[in-house]
Amino acid sequence: MFRNPVRHITSDALDPYATASFWSAVTGWAVLADPEGNELCIERSASERG
């Protein structure tokens, strides 16, 4: 099985939640947000991380 070497991608977006939601829909990964709503993260499940 090919393992993707990409671990992190950082982007600056006009609408970060819309961008994260788009990539979440494409990858099937979950969107996580900090309590203040300043940062978003798209996270793979533990089983996908290996």
- Torsion over CA: 11, 35, 21, 50 (sign): positive
Residue with tokens 């090919």: 2
Euclidean distance between the first and the last CA atom of the chain, given in angstroms as a whole number: 12
Residue with tokens 């947000």: 33
Q: What is the mean pLDDT of residues 5-16?
A: 80
Query: What is the domain partition of the chain in residue ranges?
Result: 16-49
Using DSSP's 3-state secondary structure scheme, residue 16 falls into helix
CA–CA distance, 28 with 39 (Å, rounded to integer): 19
What are the tens digits of pLDDT across the range 24-41? Answer: 888 888 888 777 777 777
pTM for this entry: 0.62
